[in-house]
Protein backbone atom coordinates (compact mmCIF):
# COMPACT_ATOMS: atom_id res chain seq x y z
CA UNK A 1 0.00 0.00 0.00
CA UNK A 2 1.33 3.42 -0.91
CA UNK A 3 1.72 5.79 2.00
CA UNK A 4 2.15 9.51 2.34
CA UNK A 5 2.63 11.86 5.25
CA UNK A 6 0.76 15.06 6.04
CA UNK A 7 1.45 17.70 8.67
CA UNK A 8 -1.68 19.23 10.20
CA UNK A 9 -1.87 22.45 12.21
CA UNK A 10 -0.81 21.91 15.82
CA UNK A 11 -0.18 18.19 15.31
CA UNK A 12 2.86 16.05 14.67
CA UNK A 13 3.34 14.47 11.28
CA UNK A 14 1.00 11.49 10.88
CA UNK A 15 0.77 8.63 8.45
CA UNK A 16 -2.12 8.86 6.02
CA UNK A 17 -3.09 5.60 4.32
CA UNK A 18 -4.35 6.06 0.79
CA UNK A 19 -6.72 3.07 0.96
CA UNK A 20 -9.55 4.01 3.29
CA UNK A 21 -13.09 2.91 4.10
CA UNK A 22 -16.01 4.91 5.49
CA UNK A 23 -17.43 3.01 8.48
CA UNK A 24 -20.70 3.57 10.33
CA UNK A 25 -21.38 2.33 13.87
CA UNK A 26 -25.15 2.29 14.23
CA UNK A 27 -28.02 1.16 16.41
CA UNK A 28 -30.31 -1.30 14.63
CA UNK A 29 -33.97 -0.69 15.52
CA UNK A 30 -36.39 -3.58 16.17
CA UNK A 31 -38.23 -5.01 13.19
CA UNK A 32 -41.46 -3.12 13.95
CA UNK A 33 -39.67 0.25 13.82
CA UNK A 34 -37.60 -0.70 10.78
CA UNK A 35 -40.72 -1.79 8.87
CA UNK A 36 -42.38 1.60 9.41
CA UNK A 37 -39.21 3.41 8.28
CA UNK A 38 -39.15 1.26 5.15
CA UNK A 39 -42.81 2.04 4.43
CA UNK A 40 -42.28 5.77 4.80
CA UNK A 41 -39.09 5.68 2.73
CA UNK A 42 -40.89 3.90 -0.11
CA UNK A 43 -43.62 6.57 -0.07
CA UNK A 44 -40.99 9.33 -0.11
CA UNK A 45 -39.30 7.80 -3.14
CA UNK A 46 -42.47 8.48 -5.14
CA UNK A 47 -42.15 12.14 -4.07
CA UNK A 48 -38.60 12.63 -5.27
CA UNK A 49 -36.56 10.75 -2.66
CA UNK A 50 -33.13 9.85 -3.98
CA UNK A 51 -32.92 6.50 -2.21
CA UNK A 52 -35.13 4.02 -0.40
CA UNK A 53 -34.59 2.17 2.86
CA UNK A 54 -35.60 -1.32 1.77
CA UNK A 55 -34.34 -3.59 4.57
CA UNK A 56 -32.01 -5.36 2.13
CA UNK A 57 -29.47 -3.15 0.41
CA UNK A 58 -30.18 -0.17 2.66
CA UNK A 59 -31.05 -0.82 6.31
CA UNK A 60 -32.87 1.38 8.79
CA UNK A 61 -30.22 2.47 11.28
CA UNK A 62 -29.43 5.18 13.81
CA UNK A 63 -25.83 6.31 13.42
CA UNK A 64 -23.75 6.59 16.59
CA UNK A 65 -20.42 7.38 14.98
CA UNK A 66 -19.24 7.53 11.39
CA UNK A 67 -15.72 8.17 10.19
CA UNK A 68 -13.14 7.10 7.66
CA UNK A 69 -10.53 4.53 8.64
CA UNK A 70 -7.47 3.08 6.97
CA UNK A 71 -8.55 -0.19 5.38
CA UNK A 72 -5.64 -1.87 7.16
CA UNK A 73 -7.19 -0.88 10.52
CA UNK A 74 -10.68 -2.31 9.96
CA UNK A 75 -10.00 -5.45 12.03
CA UNK A 76 -9.01 -3.24 14.97
CA UNK A 77 -12.21 -1.19 14.56
CA UNK A 78 -14.28 -4.39 14.65
CA UNK A 79 -12.51 -5.52 17.84
CA UNK A 80 -12.95 -2.17 19.57
CA UNK A 81 -16.63 -1.92 18.63
CA UNK A 82 -17.26 -5.41 20.00
CA UNK A 83 -15.58 -4.42 23.29
CA UNK A 84 -17.71 -1.30 23.51
CA UNK A 85 -20.91 -3.34 23.03
CA UNK A 86 -20.09 -5.68 25.91
CA UNK A 87 -19.61 -2.71 28.27
CA UNK A 88 -22.94 -0.99 27.56
CA UNK A 89 -26.52 -2.07 28.18
CA UNK A 90 -29.70 -1.16 26.33
CA UNK A 91 -30.48 2.51 25.74
CA UNK A 92 -33.95 4.09 25.39
CA UNK A 93 -34.71 6.04 22.20
CA UNK A 94 -37.69 8.43 22.49
CA UNK A 95 -39.28 9.45 19.19
CA UNK A 96 -39.79 13.24 19.00
CA UNK A 97 -41.05 13.74 15.43
CA UNK A 98 -39.68 14.23 11.91
CA UNK A 99 -37.09 16.65 10.54
CA UNK A 100 -35.96 17.91 7.12
CA UNK A 101 -32.31 18.98 7.36
CA UNK A 102 -30.60 21.83 5.52
CA UNK A 103 -28.99 19.16 3.35
CA UNK A 104 -32.50 17.89 2.41
CA UNK A 105 -32.31 14.65 4.37
CA UNK A 106 -35.66 13.60 5.86
CA UNK A 107 -35.31 11.95 9.25
CA UNK A 108 -37.11 10.27 12.12
CA UNK A 109 -35.94 12.30 15.15
CA UNK A 110 -35.10 11.05 18.65
CA UNK A 111 -34.49 12.87 21.94
CA UNK A 112 -31.00 14.02 22.91
CA UNK A 113 -31.32 12.34 26.29
CA UNK A 114 -28.41 12.26 28.73
CA UNK A 115 -28.11 8.51 28.32
CA UNK A 116 -28.10 8.72 24.55
CA UNK A 117 -25.50 11.49 24.45
CA UNK A 118 -23.19 9.54 26.79
CA UNK A 119 -23.69 6.45 24.65
CA UNK A 120 -22.65 8.30 21.49
CA UNK A 121 -19.68 9.93 23.19
CA UNK A 122 -18.52 6.55 24.45
CA UNK A 123 -18.26 4.91 21.04
CA UNK A 124 -16.70 8.06 19.58
CA UNK A 125 -13.99 8.05 22.25
CA UNK A 126 -13.39 4.32 21.76
CA UNK A 127 -12.75 4.60 18.02
CA UNK A 128 -11.20 8.05 17.84
CA UNK A 129 -7.57 6.81 18.15
CA UNK A 130 -8.05 4.63 15.04
CA UNK A 131 -9.62 7.14 12.67
CA UNK A 132 -8.09 8.23 9.42
CA UNK A 133 -6.10 11.47 9.06
CA UNK A 134 -6.57 13.13 12.48
CA UNK A 135 -7.16 16.87 12.23
CA UNK A 136 -7.48 16.76 8.44
CA UNK A 137 -10.52 14.61 7.51
CA UNK A 138 -11.61 13.98 3.97
CA UNK A 139 -14.60 16.11 2.98
CA UNK A 140 -17.39 13.56 2.58
CA UNK A 141 -20.40 13.91 0.28
CA UNK A 142 -22.82 13.78 3.22
CA UNK A 143 -21.24 16.81 4.96
CA UNK A 144 -22.99 19.49 2.87
CA UNK A 145 -23.85 22.13 3.93
CA UNK A 146 -20.75 22.15 6.09
CA UNK A 147 -20.77 24.66 8.95
CA UNK A 148 -17.76 25.86 10.94
CA UNK A 149 -18.87 23.80 13.96
CA UNK A 150 -19.25 20.70 11.79
CA UNK A 151 -15.74 21.21 10.46
CA UNK A 152 -14.40 21.51 14.00
CA UNK A 153 -16.15 18.29 15.06
CA UNK A 154 -14.97 16.44 11.95
CA UNK A 155 -11.39 17.53 12.63
CA UNK A 156 -11.65 16.52 16.29
CA UNK A 157 -13.48 13.21 16.00
CA UNK A 158 -13.83 12.33 12.33
CA UNK A 159 -17.63 12.68 12.49
CA UNK A 160 -19.20 16.04 11.67
CA UNK A 161 -22.22 15.48 13.94
CA UNK A 162 -20.36 14.25 17.01
CA UNK A 163 -20.33 15.84 20.48
CA UNK A 164 -22.79 18.66 21.10
CA UNK A 165 -23.91 18.51 17.44
CA UNK A 166 -25.08 14.92 17.75
CA UNK A 167 -28.67 14.50 16.64
CA UNK A 168 -30.09 10.98 17.11
CA UNK A 169 -32.06 10.12 13.96
CA UNK A 170 -32.93 7.50 11.38
CA UNK A 171 -32.63 8.81 7.83
CA UNK A 172 -35.47 7.86 5.46
CA UNK A 173 -34.25 9.56 2.26
CA UNK A 174 -32.64 12.64 0.75
CA UNK A 175 -34.00 15.05 -1.84
CA UNK A 176 -32.05 16.69 -4.64
CA UNK A 177 -33.91 19.95 -4.00
CA UNK A 178 -35.96 21.35 -1.14
CA UNK A 179 -39.43 19.75 -1.32
CA UNK A 180 -42.28 22.20 -1.86
CA UNK A 181 -44.96 19.70 -0.86
CA UNK A 182 -45.89 18.41 2.59
CA UNK A 183 -43.91 15.36 3.70
CA UNK A 184 -45.51 12.44 5.55
CA UNK A 185 -45.25 12.64 9.33
CA UNK A 186 -47.65 10.02 10.69
CA UNK A 187 -48.42 10.15 14.40
CA UNK A 188 -46.93 6.74 15.06
CA UNK A 189 -44.69 6.33 18.09
CA UNK A 190 -41.39 4.98 16.81
CA UNK A 191 -39.70 4.94 20.23
CA UNK A 192 -37.73 1.79 21.02
CA UNK A 193 -35.08 0.32 23.27
CA UNK A 194 -31.71 -0.04 21.55
CA UNK A 195 -30.39 -3.54 22.18
CA UNK A 196 -28.21 -4.14 19.09
CA UNK A 197 -25.46 -2.20 17.37
CA UNK A 198 -23.64 -2.96 14.15
CA UNK A 199 -20.48 -1.90 12.34
CA UNK A 200 -21.00 -1.34 8.63
CA UNK A 201 -19.20 -0.19 5.56
CA UNK A 202 -21.02 2.91 4.31
CA UNK A 203 -21.63 4.44 0.92
CA UNK A 204 -20.72 8.02 -0.01
CA UNK A 205 -23.91 9.35 1.63
CA UNK A 206 -23.36 7.41 4.86
CA UNK A 207 -26.00 4.74 4.23
CA UNK A 208 -24.97 1.36 5.63
CA UNK A 209 -24.13 -1.35 3.14
CA UNK A 210 -21.94 -4.33 4.11
CA UNK A 211 -22.16 -5.51 7.74
CA UNK A 212 -18.83 -6.20 9.42
CA UNK A 213 -20.45 -7.35 12.66
CA UNK A 214 -23.47 -6.95 14.93
CA UNK A 215 -23.53 -7.22 18.71
CA UNK A 216 -26.12 -7.32 21.45
CA UNK A 217 -25.54 -4.60 24.03
CA UNK A 218 -24.25 -5.91 27.34
CA UNK A 219 -23.88 -9.42 25.95
CATH number at residue 72: 3.90.1140.10
Q: Which residue has the higher pLDDT, 17 or 180?
A: 180
pLDDT at 143: 61
Each residue's pLDDT tens digit, 204-219: 777 788 899 999 998 7
The pTM of this model reads 0.85
- Would 192 be classed as within a structural domain? yes
- Would 148 be classed as within a structural domain? no
Q: How many domains does the chain have?
A: 1
- Would 178 be classed as within a structural domain? yes
- Would 149 be classed as within a structural domain? no
- Would 153 be classed as within a structural domain? no
- Would 3 be classed as within a structural domain? no
Domain span holding position 47: 18-133+167-216
Separation between Cα atoms, residue 162 and residue 67, nearest integer Å: 10
pLDDT-derived band at 14, boundaries 50, 70, 90? very low
- Would 9 be classed as within a structural domain? no
- Would 193 be classed as within a structural domain? yes
Amino acid sequence: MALKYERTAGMREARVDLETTLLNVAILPPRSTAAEVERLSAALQTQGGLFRIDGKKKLAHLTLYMARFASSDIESVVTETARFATRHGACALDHTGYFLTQGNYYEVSYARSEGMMKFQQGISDSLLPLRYSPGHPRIEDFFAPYSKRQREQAERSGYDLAGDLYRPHITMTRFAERPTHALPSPGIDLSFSATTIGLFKADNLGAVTEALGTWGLGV
